[in-house]
């Protein structure tokens, strides 16, 4: 009887262990090392190959729910682009909170680069509903989808957007996505217009995109918090001055978040091992009881 109680342990005990395992490492950072994987390195190398004459389209296709995973990706990629002088066009296609996420990230990052001018070095075009239709229309002209930018300036008056007319003028599209929008970028835009697409996806969605990565429809993939931490690591290793930004106490980064994720994974694995051990003991006990009765 005791074993049955162990295998059907109250789920609140599991919740408590996860709560402790998540909170403690965030309060008391462990500082576990992070190494990179090929899908992340691929995107990093692509951005490294771009320069001041090139344009990256950064699409905020996520909302507040996945901000802990996607925002570190956005910040690391923006820092990387701005450091290399790459021009960035920022849009949002996610209806619930995409534009506010974009605004927040730009508000956090742009003060680190006081020499940047909005409209010249980067443009924030805002949000557009109907993601698929918007994606197809941007292949014709950005102005068809965003007649004005987020600050209500006509696109014709924005110097950067005078030379970035459609996808032909974009060298890389990076979508930070929480759902199927990333797939649409690969299936609609990369397939039809040939512009390279990279995805920063949540950990839940990332397994689906390995197929796209393998077929070349995506040139890079950041999967969840791990992917974000890998990109941060690559950026810090390549540009050491970023280390002081990422080491600031009280500032959430993906590298710090990996401590909590690692502990949580360990807790889940421990519970699974525990459950299976008890399961085996029950089966062995029942087998022996069966033999005894026989």
Partner 1 sequence: MFWKLRLPLALTFIVGLVPIVTFFLSTQAPVIGPAVQFARDRVERYMVIIAGFALLLGVVSVVQGSVRKIERRRPGWPFAASLLAGLVVMGAFGILSAMRVGPFQGLLTAPDGGMTPFFWMTRNLFNPLQAAMFSLLAFYIASAAFRAFRVRNVEATILLIAAFIVMAGRTPLGEYAFGWLPGGERWLPAVTDWIMTVPNAAAQRGVIIGAALGAASLSLRVILGIERSYLGTTEK
Partner 2 sequence: MGRGEWTRRLAAGAAAAGLLHLCLAQRAAAADAAASWYDPQRVGAPLVVLLVFSALVLYFIHASRRGRALYIRRIAGIQAIEEAVGRATELGRKVLYLTGAGSIDDNQTIASLAVLRHVAGLTARYAVDLDVPGRDPLAFSAARETVQEAYLQAGRPDLFRSDTVHYVTYDQFAYTAAVTGIMVREKPAANFLIGAFQAESLLLAETGQSTGAIQIAGTAEVTQLPFFAVVCDYTLMGEELYAAGAYLSNEPAMLGSIKGQDFTKAVLILVILVGVLLEILGVHAIKDFMAIAG
Q: What is the DSSP string of 148-195?
A: B-TTS-BGGG-HHHHH--SGGG-SEEEEEESSTHHHHIIIIIIHHH--
Closest CB to partner 2 among 29 and 95?
95
Per-residue x/- mask for partner 1, residues 9 to 48, rule CB under 8 A?
x-x--xx-xxx--x---------xxxx-xx----------
The number of helix segments (H) and strand segments (E) in the chain equals 14, 6
Identify the residue whose tokens are 């600050």. Answer: 151
- Write down the least CB distance from residue 54 to partner 1, Å: 27
Q: Which residues bind partner 2 (CB under 8 A)?
A: 11, 65-66, 96, 178-180, 191-194, 202, 204-205, 207-208
Q: How far apart are CA 81 and CA 147, in angstroms?
A: 25
Instruction: Name which of partner 1, partner 2, none residue 34 binds, using a CB cut-off of 5 to 8 Å depending on partner kind.
Output: partner 1
Residue 144, SS3? helix
Q: Which residues contact 134 (CB under 8 A, 6 or more apart)?
A: 93, 128, 145
Tell me if 94 sits within 8 A of 64, measured CB to CB: no
Contact 216, 194 (CB under 8 A): no
Nearer to partner 1, 86 or 109 (CB): 109
Residue 134 contact, options partner 1, partner 2, none, Cβ 5-8 Å cut-off depending on partner type: partner 1
Q: Which is nearer to partner 1, 38 or 51 (CB)?
A: 38
- Binding partner at 245 among partner 1, partner 2, none, C-beta below 5 to 8 Å by kind: none
We find the least distance from the C-beta atom of residue 121 to partner 1, in angstroms, to be 18
Judged by beta carbon, residue 204 or residue 270, the one nearer partner 2 is: 204
- Length of the chain in terms of residues written: 294
The answer to whether 79 and 235 are in contact (CB under 8 A) is yes
Positions that interact with partner 1 (CB under 8 A): 9, 11, 14-15, 17-19, 22, 32-35, 37-38, 63-68, 97, 99-100, 103-104, 107, 128-130, 132-134, 136-137, 140, 144, 150-151, 207-208, 210-211, 213-214, 226, 258, 261-262, 264-269, 271-272, 274-276, 279-280
């Amino acid at each position: 009887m005791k074993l049955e109680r162990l295998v059907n342990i109250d789920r609140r005990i599991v919740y408590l262990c996860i709560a402790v395992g998540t909170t403690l490492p965030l309060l008391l950072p462990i500082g576990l090392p992070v190494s990179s994987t090929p899908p992340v390195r691929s995107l990093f190398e692509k951005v490294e190959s771009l320069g001041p004459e090139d344009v990256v389209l950064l699409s905020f296709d996520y909302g507040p729910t996945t901000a802990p995973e996607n925002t570190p990706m956005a910040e690391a990629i923006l820092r990387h682009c701005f450091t290399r002088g790459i021009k960035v066009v920022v849009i949002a296609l996610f209806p619930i909170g995409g534009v506010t996420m974009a605004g927040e990230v730009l508000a956090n990052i742009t003060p680190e680069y006081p020499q940047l001018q909005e409209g010249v070095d980067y443009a924030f075009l805002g949000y557009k509903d109907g993601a698929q239709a918007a994606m197809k229309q941007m292949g014709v002209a950005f102005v068809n989808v965003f007649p004005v930018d987020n600050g209500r300036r006509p696109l014709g008056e924005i110097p950067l957007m005078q030379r970035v007319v459609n996808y032909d003028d974009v060298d890389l599209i990076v979508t930070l996505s929480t759902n199927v929008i990333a797939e649409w970028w690969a299936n609609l835009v990369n397939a039809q217009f040939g512009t390279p697409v990279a995805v920063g996806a949540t950990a839940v969605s990332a397994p689906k995109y390995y197929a796209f990565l393998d077929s070349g429809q995506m040139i890079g993939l950041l999967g969840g918090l791990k992917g974000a931490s890998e990109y941060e690591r690559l950026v810090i290793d390549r540009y050491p001055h970023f280390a002081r930004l990422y080491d600031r106490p009280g500032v959430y980064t993906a590298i710090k978040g990996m401590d909590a994720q690692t502990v949580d994974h360990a807790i889940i694995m421990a519970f699974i091992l525990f459950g299976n051990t008890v399961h085996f003991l029950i089966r062995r006990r029942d087998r022996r009881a069966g033999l005894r009765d026989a």
